[in-house]
Structure 1
Amino acid sequence: MIFPLSIISLLGLACIALLASPYPYLAPGAVLGLVGFAVLFRKPTWGLLGIAALVPFEGFFKDNALSGSKLLGASLAVILMLQLALHQIPAERLRSNIWRYLLAFMALYFLSTLTTDDLGMSLGHLRELSVGLILFVITLLIGRELNLDLFARLVTLAVSATCAMAMFSSKFQDQGRAAGLLEDPNAFALLIAFAVPLALLLVIRAPNWLQRLVWGGCFLLLLGGMTKTESRSGLVVLALSLIIGCWHYRTQLARIRPRHLGFAMLGAVILIPLAIAVMPAGYIARIQSLSVLSAGASGHHDESLGRRASYIVVGSQIIRENPLLGSGPGTFPLHYATTGYAKAFSANRKIGDLYRRAHNTYLEIFSELGIPAGLLFVGMLGLGLYNLLRARKAWMQRRNAEQADMMTHLGMSFLSLTLFLMFLSAPNQKYLWIMLALTSVLRLKAEQAPLAEART
């Protein structure tokens, strides 16, 4: 315990120094930091759970250099390095079948950075991506001890709370669309799509009617928040994940009797017209605007679809010009700003309107990093989904329906993330990298579980 005691001594000296300084009121913060560091050293998974719970609230700290999630992440990184050095955590936990894709992807990433069109933008992109990479390593090290039920509860409560804030306060809306504490309604819709399968699992598993009522209320808040975002992509992703959930529970649906079906139809007759009545008129108009896709989207019919079509045109041009290493990480906005599309779709010609990201993570990576890196990124996410399928199969072979259900709902959430990346530029999304590492951890844990522990 030499290293931890050394750090504790340093923090103690820092408290004494602060008491003797012109800022003695900062000393209690150092004491709290010392206590928090000691707690995280004993229970590092609490730190990862805290980061997951703080993701929807990051907008509170957007103007601060040091946020709660950054502080937790930095503390966890230091603690886990110490525990690795002290052999309190076996280095074997870093093993993952994701590494072969990730290391090759990062090698191409650095090669693309060397040939980038703008080094400053590429280094900024690398700084953002490094947060996800750190979370990936942290999750590999402590993911085996992560309480998945608590993870589902915290994510559901956190996202539901921001949904309630966005639904009932215009302060958390962007031009009438719910954005929560984020700047983009589509980014908020991604969080909701990730949380809905977890909330549904909590409703199904609730041991009594009171808890089922609480989690059912959170589920309805999430659905209401998704409606308020007016995100068409969110509606598509959410519908697909719910269809997958119905397929997983198809054997239990067979237990429904005619009398149950009657109550279900009565509920549908009441709820569907009610949902249509309370649905914002703008959302209905946005959904109806998807009909122009059959004739080709244009700014004349729908400005949003026209912008997205222009991103594809510009990204395709970049890929044709730089198929191997792309134009450099984070440089898509630089190329887009020089086109006529930037001026055509910019309302006020501000820098933020001209320098637009691709709003499609896959298109952005293929254009900025090249085709090989793009294929590796897609393969990495595909392997993550395959890991969850194998984990679910392993638990079903062991007749552990509870764990199999958990793998299904985590798979639905992870699939929602991967699908949403087609409509949003978010390669550094924290849930994405936490879940990517968790897929390999859960697969190994399931396949290493002895068959003798199989449940009847």
Structure 2
Amino acid sequence: MIVPLSIVSLLGLVCLALLASPYPFLAPGAVFGLVGVAVLYRKPMWGLLGIAALVPFEGLFKENAFSGSKFFGLALILILMLQLALHQIPGARLRSNIWRPLIGFMLLYGLSLLLSENMNLSMTHFRELAVGLILFVITLLIGRELNLDLFCRLMTLSVTTTCVLAMFSAKYQDQGRASGLLEDPNVFALLIAFTVPLALLLVVRGPSVLHRLFWGGCFVLLLGGMTKTESRSGLVVLMLSLVIGLYHYRAQLPRIRPRHLGFAMLGLALILPLAIAVMPAGYVARIQSLSILSAGVNAHKDESLGRRASYILVGSQMIRENPILGSGPGTFPLHYAPTGYAKAFSANRKLSDLYRRAHNTYLEIFSEIGVPGGLMFVGMIGLGLYNLLHARRLWLQRRDWAQADLLTHLGMSFLSLALFLMFLSAPNHKLLWIMLALTSVLRYDAEQAAQQEARP
């Protein structure tokens, strides 16, 4: 209890200092901060859950110097450092098979940073990436105490709330496309694609009909939000995720009776025409435009696809010019802006339209950090997916269907996130680094359970 008392004393001094300062109205905030730190000291997992649940609401705090996510992050850093120093948390928890490719990636990232074409842009990129690295370490330390059912509930509720706001208020739309509390509709679509498998898990595990109806309603709202984003990539990733879920539950098909199949067909006959009727005409047109890919991309027919093709051309040229260490983190916009593509696809010739990111995390990493660094980054993603598959296989061998279902749905969410990185520049996305660490934790738990069962 020495550490909590020291924190109490420190915050007490902060309160007195604020009362004596020109800003005495900030003193009550220190009191609430004291209560929050005390709670997080006993239950650090609440801080990690808070960070994850606040991801869909980050747009609300963009202009604020201090937000809920920053409070949780700073508090967890302080608390976990103290608990590690006092051996209240074993340092062995930091073990992970992700460290090897991560360390290799960071070494190459550091060399690329030192040789960067623009140090200011690269340092900004590094500061953003550092947030993800910190979350990776935090999740490794406290991931074993994380309540995954509660994680699924909080993520479903938070993303569903933003879906409702985006569907029924033009304030949360970008040129008619739902963006929620975020700036980019595709970023919002990523969150929805990540959350849909979690919502389905809650429907499957619902203890009563009312619970299943509630989470089923959230699932429908998530699908409505995805439709409102008009994101083609989101639809493709979502459909792939749902197909994987159906494959996982294929063993349940023999339980379906003819009467159940009749009700299912009736439901589809009612839902599909309704979905087509309420689907925005612009979204239908965007989906139909994917058919032109078989004949090659024509920028005159679809500007969005033409712009993405131009990113690939510029990124490929960057890789050819600097294949080993790239041009430096965050420097893709510097190479794209002088090209004719930037001027051709710029709506109003503003700097934000000319200096565009690659909208493809993998392409951006390979072109800015180099091919070796890109391979390390892809290796981290691949190891994370393997960890989930390995853990799921162990639980299936033990016939623990509940844990296997959980691993399947978390794997669907992580796969959706990994696939969506091909359509967004988001190497610092908080959920990416939380899930990367969580895959190691889940694999460790499955292996420990298997070892305990094997002991005589």
- Per-residue deviation, residues 15-36 of structure 1 (Å, max 9, x unmatched): 1222233322211111111111
- Unmatched runs of 5 consecutive residues or more in structure 1: none
- In structure 2, what is the Cα distance between the partners aligned to 1:93 and 1:394? 20
In structure 2, the CA distance between the partners of 1:208 and 1:96, relative to structure 1 (3 Å rule), is same
Equivalences for residues 21-40 of structure 1 within 5 A: 21-40=21-40
Aligned to 2:421: 421
Q: Is contact 1:398–1:451 with CA below 8 Å preserved after alignment? A: no
Aligned to 1:241: 241
Q: Is 1:251 equivalent to 2:251 in the alignment?
A: yes
In structure 2, the CA distance between the partners of 1:317 and 1:449, relative to structure 1 (3 Å rule), is same
Q: Is contact 2:394–2:450 with CA below 8 Å preserved after alignment? A: no
- In structure 2, what is the Cα distance between the partners aligned to 1:117 and 1:218? 47
- In structure 1, what is the Cα distance between the partners aligned to 2:88 and 2:451? 28
- Per-residue deviation, residues 409-440 of structure 1 (Å, max 9, x unmatched): 00000000000000010001111000000001
Equivalences for residues 303-318 of structure 1 within 5 A: 303-318=303-318
Aligned to 1:145: 145
- In structure 1, what is the Cα distance between the partners aligned to 2:233 and 2:254? 31
Deviation at 1:116, TM superposition (A): 0.7
Aligned to 2:87: 87
Aligned to 1:103: 103
Deviation at 1:3, TM superposition (A): 4.1
Question: Secondary structure in 1 aligned to 2:327?
Answer: coil
Deviation at 1:199, TM superposition (A): 0.1
* Alignment-mate amino acid for residue 440 of structure 1: S
Aligned to 1:56: 56
Aligned to 2:186: 186
Aligned to 1:278: 278
- In structure 2, what is the Cα distance between the partners aligned to 1:298 and 1:60? 38
* Alignment-mate amino acid for residue 194 of structure 2: F
Deviation at 1:354, TM superposition (A): 0.3
Question: Secondary structure in 2 aligned to 1:249?
Answer: helix
- In structure 1, what is the Cα distance between the partners aligned to 2:17 and 2:207? 52
- Per-residue deviation, residues 191-227 of structure 1 (Å, max 9, x unmatched): 0000000000000100111111110110000000000
* Alignment-mate amino acid for residue 284 of structure 2: I
TM-score in terms of structure 1 length: 0.98
**More deviation, 345-354/2-11:** 2-11
Percent identical pairs in the alignment equals 78
- Per-residue deviation, residues 293-346 of structure 1 (Å, max 9, x unmatched): 111112201000000000000000000000000010000001000111000000
Aligned to 1:13: 13
- In structure 1, what is the Cα distance between the partners aligned to 2:399 and 2:451? 9
Aligned to 1:389: 389
Aligned to 1:294: 294
Aligned to 1:71: 71
Aligned to 2:120: 120
Q: Is contact 1:4–1:82 with CA below 8 Å preserved after alignment? A: no
- In structure 2, what is the Cα distance between the partners aligned to 1:22 and 1:70? 24
TM-score in terms of structure 2 length: 0.98
Question: Secondary structure in 1 aligned to 2:255?
Answer: coil
- In structure 2, what is the Cα distance between the partners aligned to 1:63 and 1:23? 20
* Alignment-mate amino acid for residue 409 of structure 2: H
Deviation at 1:59, TM superposition (A): 0.4
- Unmatched runs of 5 consecutive residues or more in structure 2: none
Deviation at 1:70, TM superposition (A): 1.1
- In structure 2, what is the Cα distance between the partners aligned to 1:118 and 1:402? 50
Question: Secondary structure in 2 aligned to 1:375?
Answer: helix
Question: Secondary structure in 2 aligned to 1:328?
Answer: coil
- In structure 1, what is the Cα distance between the partners aligned to 2:265 and 2:451? 42
- Per-residue deviation, residues 366-407 of structure 1 (Å, max 9, x unmatched): 000000000111111000000000111111122211111000
